[in-house]
Amino acid sequence: MEPFMLPLESINRAEDEPVRVYQKAVEYGIDTRQLEYLLTLSPAERLRRHDAALAFVLAARKAGIKYYGFDPRSPEASQ
């Protein structure tokens, strides 16, 4: 049995794969503007945005628990 070998052409095409996938996504109708915007941000800016979103989610969860009196995500809530 011979070892598996990739054809040389497929090695060169592998570099183009992200571009082809992106183009197919655009052709399919996926809106890539937000992805493009997020890629313009520095890692520190992305982390600040993540921290702000996490703070919002935690505050909303806390408000929901205060309003309803329980955490609907807890296992006891489904019983």
pTM: 0.57
Q: What is the arithmetic mean of pLDDT over 33-62?
A: 95
Per the rule left: phi > 0, alpha: psi between -120 and 50, beta: everything else, 32 is alpha
Q: What is the pLDDT of residues 9-45, one digit of tens each?
A: 555 566 678 888 888 888 989 889 988 999 999 999 9
CB-CB neighbours of 43 under 10 Å: 7
Q: Which of 1-5, 52-56, 63-67 has the lowest mean pLDDT?
A: 1-5
